[in-house]
Structure 1
Amino acid sequence: MYIGKSTELSRRAFMRRTSQLAVAGAASSYALGLAGMGEAAAFSASGGYKALVCIFLYGGNDYGNTLIPYDLANYNRYQEIRGGGAGGAGIALPRSSLAGSVLNQPADQVLTDDIRYSLAPTMPRLKSRFDEGRMAPLLNVGPLVVPLTKAQYQSNNTTSFPRPAKLFSHNDQQSTWQSSQPEGSRTGWGGRMGDLAQSSNRNAMFTAINATGNAVFLSGDNALPYQVSRGGAVQVRGLENRVYRSSAASAALDGLLRTHNGHVLEADYAQTMARSIQYGGFVNDALENSALQTDFGDGNGLADQLSVVARLIAARGDLGVTRQVFMVSMGGFDNHDGLIGRHEGLLSQLDFAMDAFFRATIELGIADRVTTFTASDFGRTLASNGDGSDHGWGGHHFMIGGAVNGGRFYGTAPQVSVDSDDQVGRGRLLPTTSVDEYSATLAKWFGVSESEMPGISPNIGRFAQPDLGFMAPPG
C-alpha cells in the first residue's frame, strides 16, 4: 500500500527557490559559482536511507552550564562572572564536579584562550560518545542574516548590517531558528528539505514527521508534517468508538476535525488532523511490525518521543521511505531562577535520551544513516541574575551519529567574558557561526545539492562556510 508520491516541485516552490538564489547571488561569490538552474532539483537520494532528527530545547538552553570551562584560568573567569562554585552563592558549578566529564579534545585543536571544556556532570553518556568520535559540539551558533562584528551590531546602520528581528524573544527566535526567516514564516528548513526529499519516497506522506506538536521547522511548500504521539499515530477515540453511542455524533465530530473556514491556522490544524485520522491505522500497523530492543527507560518524555521515532525508522520499509526529517522536543529551559539543580536534571534527561536513540540506531544497523542534532530558542547570559540567567543569543549545540566527525569541536569558542568582542552585553554571545551554516552542513549530507542550498538556508550565500565539516561526505 502506497499513499502518495510527489514527482516534481510545485511551481510555487520553484519560484521561491529561484528568488532566493537571486538574493544569494547578489550577496556572495559562493552563490555566483552555483550550477545552473537546470540542476535545481538535483536532490541526491543515493546511498540508501537517511534521516535527520531535530531535538528542540524550548526555553533557551543555558550554554554556560552545558559546556563549562575546566582549565583553571578560564574556570576562574567563569566562576567570577557566575558566582557560586564550591559552596558560594551563584550559578557556577563546582570545578570538582567536572573532572569526570572533561572532553578530551584532539592534540591538533587549540581553542580560544586555550580553553578546555567539560560537559555538565549529568551528561556522562554524551561525554563517552564524544570520546569515541560520534558526538561533536558546535560552538556559539545562532541566527544571523550576515556575519556581524560587535561594532557592526552596535551600529545604527541596520541596512548594511541587518540582524535577526526581535532578538531575545522566545516566540520570534524559535521561529527564526526553525525557519532561518523572521517569525511568521510558513516554512522551516526541515520542511524545505522535505520538499526536495518527497520524490525519493514512495509514501511522500511520511517524509516529515513531528512527534512533539506543530512547529514551523517541518513545514514546507509541499511537505506537511505527519503528526504522531508517543504511542504512535494520533488516534481520536470518538471516531473509533461512537460518541454518546451515536454514529451521527461520531460523524459530526469527524467533520469538525477535518474542516475549516479558511483561517490559515484552522486550515493547518484541520489538514494535519485529517492526515492523522486517515492514515493512523496504517502507521500503527507498521509500528507493531517493527521490533526494537533498546531500553528507552521510563518517565523521560524526550526519550519517549525518540522511542517512537526509532520505531518509525525501523518500519521505514513498510512506510516506503528513504529520506525522513523528524522533530522532537523538551521544554523547561527558561531558567531565570532555580538554574542550579533544575538545569542539571534537564541535561540528564537529554543525555539519556540522545544516547538511547543512538543505541537504537546501532541496533537497527543504520547509525551512520541517522544524524541527531539539538537547537534552542537562544543561549542565555553568562552573567547571573542571582539565581539563574536571562535571554541571550548564541549558544552551543550537539550533533550525534555514525556519520558525525566527532571527538572535536566546531565553530569558534567564545571568550569567558561579559565585555569581549564576541558578546553583546552580560555575556550574551554574538554568534560566530550562523544557523544557515549549521543547516546547510546537515542538508548537504542529507542529499541537497549546492544549487538548491539557498532554498534550505536562505542566508547561506553571505557566509564563508557552507560546510562546517562536522559531517562525513555524502554517500
Structure 2
Amino acid sequence: MNYKNRREFLSLCLKGGVSMAALTSMQLKAMTGMAAPAASTGDFKALVCIFLKGGNDSFNMLIPQQGDPLSAYLNSRQNLAVSDAISIDPTTAVAGGVGLHPALAPIAPLFTNQNLAVVSGVGSLLVPITLEQYKQKSAAIPNNLFSHNDQQATWMQGREKESLNYGWGGRILELLNQHDTFGSNISLSGNNLWQTGPNSVPFAMNKSGITRVSAYNSTSQRTQAFRQQLEQMFSEASHPLAKSYSDKLASSVGNTEQLNQALAGANEFTDVFSDTELSSQLQAVAKTLSVQSQFGVGRQVFFVGMGGFDTHDDQNVNHPALLQQLSQAMAEFDGAMTTLGLSNQVTTFTMSDFGRTLSSNGDGTDHGWAGNQLVMGGAVNGGEIYGSVIEQALDSAYDVGGGRMIPQVANEQYFASLASWFGLSDSEILELFPSLSNFNQTHLSMFS
C-alpha cells in the first residue's frame, strides 16, 4: 500500500489525534530515541498553573467579617455582596476578620491544614505606585490595563509585552536545562504563551490523557506497511525543509506513543475527580504525575484552564458556580497528590487576566486591576494571606476609579516566589522578572 505524499500522512496523523502543539515542538525526541532514563524523584518538582480566563472577581473570594471593613464591603459590592462566608484564621490577623466565599468550602480545610495560601492585592505593576502618581502619570504604569488579551499576555510573560513573546513557565525550564524532553512541559488547555520559550513549546494532551494515531496503531498488514513507509520517509528526507518536517512528525508520533505507553499503567483516580472540565484536566495531570519517573525529568510544568470569569452579567449566579468548580477540582487534586506522595513536590497556583471592579454594574462587574490568587501544596507555608488585604472601599487611596484597585503586590513578586521554590537563582529570577529591581522585596515568604 502506498501513501501518495506527506500531506496524506499528516491528514492520517491528525485524524488520529496528534496535536499541532506536538507537531511544532522543535526540541522533542526523535521516534527512535524516545525512551529516557528515569530521573531521581528526590529533587523532583512540578508547577501546575490554573488560568482563570476572563478576569476572576477574586476580591469576592475573601470577605470581611465585621466592623468598618465589612461596612465598606457591603457599600461597595451592593447587590453582589456575599453572606455566609466561611471564617478562616490566617496566621497574620486581618482587621475585621476574613472569610472565604461559601463556594470555596472544599478548599477551606486545606487553608486550615496549612496546605493552601492566598496572595492578596496582587496585580500587574512595574513600580510601587500611589493614587496620586497614577493620576499624574508620574510613575510607570503597565500598558493596556483592563484589556483581556494584553493582561493575559503580561501574566503569562511575567513582564510587559515585548517583540518576542515568551512565557515564564517555558523559560524557567530552559534556565534549569529541563526543556529538552517533551514530558517536562505539558498543557491540558492547548497552546499558551506561559509555556512557550525560545526553545520550547508545550506538548498538548487531551483531558483523557490518551491520544491515538489511528493510522499507526493496529497489527493489520496495512498498518505494518504504513509504519515501514513512515520510517523510510523519516530516514530518507534530505532537503532541509523536508527533513525538518519529517523530524517533527517523527517526534510527535514517538512522543504520543511514549505517553500512551506510560499512561497505560497510570493511576486513573476514577473515584477522586468529578466530571467538570477543570476536574478532568487536573485528573489528567495527576495521571501523568503518577508516571513522571518514566519521562526522565526533574522538573515539570503543567497548564490547565477554566473560562467564564468575564462576569459582566449574571454574576450572582455564574460566579459562585465557577468558584465551586474551581475549589472542588483543587481539593480533588490535592487529595490525588497526597495519594501519590507528591504533595510536597507539586505546587498548584492560579493566575487570571486581572481582578474586577468593586462596584456593581447592576448585574455584574467590569474589568479591574488588583485581585487575589491561590497557592496550594505541601511545600507552601499555608494558612496565611500574603501581600496586602486591601480594604474594599470605593474612592479610597487605592481606587483609581469605579473600584479598580491599585495592587500592593506585583505579580512579578508572586511569580518570583514560585520560581525560587522551583530552583531558580536570584540572578535568573531577575533575568525573568526585570521589574523586581524596583521593589524592596523580591519574594513573598510562601515557601520555607
- The bucket for the TM-score relative to the shorter chain is 0.7 to 0.9
Cα pair distance change 1:46/1:234, threshold 3 Å: closer
C-alpha displacement of 1:424: 1.2
Amino acid at match of 1:436: E
The equivalent position to 1:286 in structure 2, one of 250, 262, 268, is 262
Cα pair distance change 1:276/1:307, threshold 3 Å: farther
1:297 to 2:273 alignment: yes
C-alpha displacement of 1:277: 3.5
C-alpha displacement of 1:235: 4.0
Distance 2:270 2:380 in 1: 21
Instruction: Report matched runs for 1:57-456 at 5 Å.
Output: 57-83=52-78, 90-93=79-82, 95=83, 97-98=84-85, 101-106=86-91, 109-111=92-94, 114-157=95-138, 161-183=139-161, 185-199=164-178, 204-235=181-212, 237=214, 275-293=251-269, 295-456=271-432
Distance 1:273 1:214 in 2: 18
Q: Deviations over 1:85-116 (max 9, x none)?
A: xxxxx2112x3x22xx111123xx233xx132
Distance 2:252 2:67 in 1: 54
Asked whether the 8 Å contact 1:174–1:377 carries over to 2, the reply is yes
Q: Deviations over 1:373-425 (max 9, x none)?
A: 00100000000000100000111001010000011110011122111112211
Q: Deviations over 1:27-79 (max 9, x none)?
A: xxxxxxxxxxxxxxxxxx99511001110000000023211112243222212
Distance 1:287 1:216 in 2: 26
Cα pair distance change 1:81/1:273, threshold 3 Å: farther
Cα pair distance change 1:164/1:277, threshold 3 Å: farther
Give the equivalent residue in structure 1 for 2:29: none
Asked whether the 8 Å contact 2:211–2:260 carries over to 1, the reply is no
Moved more, 417-426 or 52-61: 417-426
Amino acid at match of 2:304: V
SS at 1:318's partner residue? helix
Asked whether the 8 Å contact 1:210–1:326 carries over to 2, the reply is yes
Asked whether the 8 Å contact 1:235–1:277 carries over to 2, the reply is no
Asked whether the 8 Å contact 1:141–1:433 carries over to 2, the reply is yes
Distance 1:222 1:428 in 2: 37
Asked whether the 8 Å contact 2:125–2:411 carries over to 1, the reply is yes
Cα pair distance change 1:185/1:174, threshold 3 Å: farther
Give the equivalent residue in structure 2 for 1:462: 438
Scaled by the length of structure 1, what TM-score is found?
Answer: 0.77
Distance 2:208 2:332 in 1: 17
Q: Deviations over 1:201-248 (max 9, x none)?
A: 8x622221111111100011222211111011544546668xxx9999
Distance 2:148 2:164 in 1: 15
Asked whether the 8 Å contact 1:146–1:463 carries over to 2, the reply is yes
Moved more, 420-429 or 391-400: 420-429
C-alpha displacement of 1:278: 3.5
Cα pair distance change 1:164/1:3, threshold 3 Å: farther
Distance 1:375 1:130 in 2: 18
Asked whether the 8 Å contact 2:103–2:324 carries over to 1, the reply is yes
Count residues in correspondence. Answer: 398
Distance 2:210 2:33 in 1: 17
C-alpha displacement of 1:364: 0.6
Asked whether the 8 Å contact 1:297–1:303 carries over to 2, the reply is yes
C-alpha displacement of 1:291: 2.2
Give the equivalent residue in structure 1 for 2:45: 50
Distance 1:124 1:281 in 2: 40
SS at 1:317's partner residue? helix
C-alpha displacement of 1:438: 0.7
Q: Deviations over 1:232-268 (max 9, x none)?
A: 1544546668xxx9999xx99xx9xxxxxxxxxxxxx
Distance 1:470 1:162 in 2: 27
Asked whether the 8 Å contact 2:45–2:299 carries over to 1, the reply is yes
C-alpha displacement of 1:456: 2.3
Cα pair distance change 1:359/1:298, threshold 3 Å: closer
Q: Which blocks of at least 5 consecutive residues in structure 1 are unaligned? A: 6-44, 84-89, 256-268
C-alpha displacement of 1:271: 9.8
Cα pair distance change 1:3/1:186, threshold 3 Å: farther
Q: Percent identity?
A: 38
Distance 2:306 2:90 in 1: 28
Q: Deviations over 1:141-194 (max 9, x none)?
A: 11111221111112234xxx2222111000110000110233465211111111
SS at 1:445's partner residue? helix
Scaled by the length of structure 2, what TM-score is found?
Answer: 0.82
Distance 2:442 2:41 in 1: 21
Distance 2:191 2:251 in 1: 14
Q: Deviations over 1:324-344 (max 9, x none)?
A: 111111000000010002100
SS at 1:140's partner residue? strand
Q: Which blocks of at least 5 consecutive residues in structure 2 are unaligned? A: 1-31, 234-244
Cα pair distance change 1:273/1:465, threshold 3 Å: farther
